[in-house]
Structure 1
Amino acid sequence: MFPIRAVEKHYAWGSYDRLQNMFHLGPVDGDHLEPLAEMWFSGHAESPSPLTLSDGVEVPLTDAIRRDPMTMLGEHDSQLFGPILPYLFKVISARIPLSLQVHPLDFEARAGFNRENAAGIPKEAPERSFKDTLAKNEMVVALEPFTASVGFAPVPFQLTLLRAVDHPLAGLMAEALTARTFHMGVPPAQFAQADAMMPVSSLIWPDSRRRVFRAFHAAVTAPKVSPDTLGPALEAASQKVRGRKARAAMDNALQAIHAFPGDPSVLCLLMLNPVCLEEGESVFIPAGTPHAYIHGTAAEIMTNSDNVLRAGMTPKHRDIPNLLRSLDCQPNATIDPSSSMIATLIMHNMVTYRPKINEYMLVYGNVSKGGAAWPLLTRLNQRYGDLIDKLGPRRLMIPRRGPRILLCTEGAVQCSTEYQSLTLRQGQAVFIPSEDGRVEITMARRSGMNPEPAQENGSFLLASTPV
């Protein structure tokens, strides 16, 4: 096992205290208060995490893997992914809404990366959209209440909310959702510009998907509107709508318009599914899915990519043409990767999150004195009770091979392999190479080298490639 340090990412939407406290970063100078948005445990070439080797020398994780991929990754992952960590693991905290964004599809990421390289755009340039050649499929697990907007909601839901907003742009978006194309290649005249920006795949889209694209396009390409009109229109609409889901979508839009006054792309949040996660609940976001995180702290794991295409709600570069080429316009329910696996580890005070991709899985767990029940699991048990009854208890061990990153999120935990045992306290993490084999995570013990009293309990996150 090797201690690993997170790479700090300071963005305007970050928290002033949540990550600072979790990672014990010390007092912050009040005169130079800088929001901290993300902590990366990273094998990404642009921001690799420092790894402390056995001799005390600190090296980038990328270098350590390149030097000995078989030891660090194992034979299976080395052959499948090459000498790179296939996932990027983060803890994020949003104080205000993030940008409205989409992650590019794999072929769009490759093409965009090569185009920008050919154009001579430096990788660190603010106008650069493609940092690597990979699609980014990501998953979020809430560490506290976490809100977001993810994927297009059913069209009737979109229409109900947009028609409640007394604003010309909302009216145009509602019109786009209902204006039919009666002849292939001849769109309604007012939406011809939108159709010209549709990807080639739109040739086989049903007309309903074209209408969703046009409504989204209307908002993200509109000029800035008067804050004196859109904000009050959303406030008034929020008093009209009924139903928990509709109110949650309106709340997301209201938080966004307060953070970004006059930004018309805020209206896109009324087209998306509102997501309200409690601790331990999760959502999976495939490449191409429009989304925006609104508020809260969460673990985030994704394919090893830093590609982001932004459409609004940000001071950063917006790349609307490339975003629209990857946009998935199919209305769908959000994807919860824990739901099919929740029974697996519930009896072991661990929850496994494993979407149907090869690059990663995540375990959220708790250890406590006497094996006391974790309150989180009582609530998840209630949510997934029918599924648990259907599947029955099953056992899935923490992965015995592959590259693993263990982070203590609360209290302290003891991490042991056949070679070594370490105590991790809140905010500390280790990289566990494939060669270390089986890992056991237990309550922290007191020892001569560790004179502090043993913690009664601890919580952890374990990122890995799938079992």
Structure 2
Amino acid sequence: MISIEPVPKHYAWGSHTRLQDLFGMETGTPLAEMWFSGHASSPSLLRIWDGRAIALDEAIRTDPDFMVGPMSSHVFGPVLPYLFKLISACIPLSLQVHPVGFEARAGYHREQVAGVPADAPERSFRDMLAKHEMVVALEPFQAAVGFMLPDLAAQALAAVGEHPLALRMMRALAGEPDPLADAMMPEAAIAWPPAHRRMFRAFHAAVTAQNSAGRGLSALLEAARLRAASVGGVPSRIGMAIDNACKAARAFSDDPSALALLMMNPVRLDPGEAVFIPAGVPHEYIRGTGAEIMTNSDNVLRAGMTVKRRDIPNLLRSLDCQPSAPIDPQTCLQPPTSAPSATVPSATLYRPPVDEFMLAYGHVGDWRVGDAGLAANEVVSGDAGLPQGPRVLLCCEGRVRCADGMGERALERGEAVFVPAGAGRLDIGSDAGATGAYLLASTPF
């Protein structure tokens, strides 16, 4: 195992305390994300045995079979297939979509040919990969993910009252034609069912409206939120969707795209709960702290609630307009009964339907089970548990002890190690009875 240093990201929506406390940092600006990354734009540093530092992407290219394993290297190339982050938001992020694979490749090549610098603010495609992502809540986490059923979206929009843009979106959901919106549909829309085309038109109306349409919207949404809270017959999902839109409108008072959140599934995650977001699914994180893992991509297409560049045409070409419930990727590694004194499983595995990544979130302590005295919260990777592959282990609370084929060490809160595939089996347990919590990112091989 090798010590790994995260890359801090300072964005305006970040927390002023949460990540700073976890990683022992003092900053005068919001700290939004901490990346454990092999992405070429922001690689983490590895502190190797003689004290030298080397970028993770460079270390992988130097010895891909040892660092990520022959199988991963064969499938994905000499790269870390995932990007692992901790994220903490105190105001809503941008309304966004991650491009699907063929759009990412086409967009990347267009910008390369046009000579757009890789780090330019106007650049939309920083790599050629589709971006699928998953977030696991470490604290209560609020988000909007994917589209609700059209009937629910229409009820949420109707709750706002006689706002001109809300009425226009309702007419779109009811089937009113919109030649401007139809001209921006992707070619695949020729095979869409009518419900998907109506959803596209309503979303298009929200994200292409002039800023003047957003004036006074915050007050209307606040009134709708109060009405929803006071009327027992209003479905809770509609009330939560209105609450999401209300928070977004407070943060971006003149941005009419906040109305798009009335069409989207409200997501409320308790600590340990998760949601998976495939490429193409619209989403917005509202507030909270979580662990985020994704394809090794930095592609983001934004449509609203941001000071950064909006790329609505490219976003609409990747937009998944199918109404569907958010995807829960959670499965348990061990049943709760393995530790009778525990009220939750000691480790939970989050395994979404992708080949690049998975995540485990667990706790260690002095729980004991069986005559052999095995720790109920011990998690292993290799032939007896989690698979061998390139892994990042982060201690997020207390103290955790870990051992692999290269050695053994204790991790304090905020410390992390990179465990190469060639290091073999990884054991995670308590350190002299101390309690702790950890996050383990890995490929699913």
Equivalent position of 1:49 in the other structure? 44
Matched, 1:353 2:364: no
Equivalent residue in structure 1 for 2:237, among 235, 245, 262: 245
How has the CA–CA distance of structure 1 residues 54 and 343 changed in structure 2, closer, same or farther, with 3 Å as cutoff? closer
Aligned partner of 1:174 in structure 2 is: 170
2:130 match: secondary structure? coil
Of 299, 322, 330, the match for 2:314 = 322
SS in structure 2 at match of 1:4: strand
Alignment of 1:446-457 (within 5 A): 456-457=434-435
CA contact (8 A) 2:332 2:347 kept: no
Structure 1: state its 5+ residue gaps. 181-187, 373-394, 446-454
Unaligned runs of 5+ in 2: 229-233, 339-344, 370-381
Aligned to 1:303: 295
Q: Which whole-Å CA distance do the structure 2 matches of 1:299 and 1:179 have between them?
A: 40
Give, in whole Å, the separation in 2 of the partners of 1:204 and 1:306: 30
* Partner deviation per Cα, 1:101-150 (whole Å, 9 max, x = no partner): 00000000000000001111101110100000000000000001000000
Match of 2:324 in 1: 332
Contact 2:33 2:88 in 1 (8 A): yes
The 3-state SS of whatever aligns with 1:369 is: coil
The superposition leaves residues 321-355 of structure 1 with CA deviations (integer Å, 9 ceiling, x where unpaired) of: 000000000000110011xx236565461000001
- Root-mean-square deviation (CA, aligned residues, Å) is 1.6
In the alignment, the residues of structure 2 paired with residue 110 and residue 314 of structure 1 have an alpha-carbon distance, to the nearest angstrom, of 25
Using the alignment, how far apart are the partners of 1:371 and 1:282 within structure 2?
28
2:267 to 252, 275, 281: 275
TM superposition shift of 1:361: 0.6
- Residue in 2 aligned with 1:342? 332
Within 5 Å, which residues of 2 pair with 1:182-197?
Answer: 188=177, 191-197=178-184
**Is residue 150–residue 334 contact of structure 1 (8 Å, CA) maintained in 2?**
yes
- Pair 218,300 (structure 1): closer, same or farther in 2 beyond 3 Å: same
| C-alpha contact (below 8 Å) 1:345/1:351 kept by paired residues | no
Is the contact between residue 66 and residue 84 of structure 1 (CA under 8 Å) also seen in structure 2? yes
1:67-106 → structure 2 map (5 Å cutoff): 67-106=62-101
SS in 1 for 2:216: helix
Q: What are the within-5 Å matches in structure 2 for residues 40-439 of structure 1? A: 40-166=35-161, 167-179=163-175, 188=177, 191-225=178-212, 228-241=215-228, 242-338=234-330, 341-342=331-332, 344=334, 346=336, 347=338, 349-371=346-368, 397-439=384-426
CA 1:128 to 1:371, structure 2 compared with 1: closer, same or farther past 3 Å?
farther
Q: CA deviation at 1:248?
A: 1.1
CA–CA distance in 2 between the matches of 1:399 and 1:433? 14
Deviations 1:208-267 (A, max 9, x none): 110000000001000003665211111122233323211111111111000000101000
Provide the TM-score with structure 2 as the length reference.
0.92
Partner SS for 1:20:
helix
Deviations 1:177-216 (A, max 9, x none): 0025xxxxxxx2xx11000000000001111110000000
SS of structure 1 residue aligned to 2:5: coil
Moved more, 414-423 or 294-303: 414-423
One-letter code of the match for 2:391? R
Match of 2:14 in 1: 14
Contact 1:400 1:439 in 2 (8 A): no
User: Which amino acid counterpart does residue 35 of structure 2 have in structure 1?
Assistant: W
Structure 1 residue 371: deviation in Å? 4.2
Alignment length (residue pairs): 420
Shift of 1:317: 0.2
Runs of 4+ in 1 over 6 A off after TM superposition: none
What per-residue deviation string (whole Å, max 9, x for no partner) do you get for residues 57-85 of structure 1? 10000010000001111111111111000
Task: Give the fraction of aligned pairs with identical amino acids, expressed as a percent.
Answer: 55
On the 8 A contact 2:43/2:56 being kept in 1, the answer is yes
Output the CA distance in 1 between the equivalents of 2:289 and 2:365.
Answer: 23
SS in 1 for 2:211: coil
Q: Quick one: which amino acid aligns to residue 301 of structure 2?
A: L
The answer as to whether partners of 1:238 and 1:251 remain within 8 angstroms in 2 is: yes
8 Å CA contact retained: 2:400, 2:411: yes
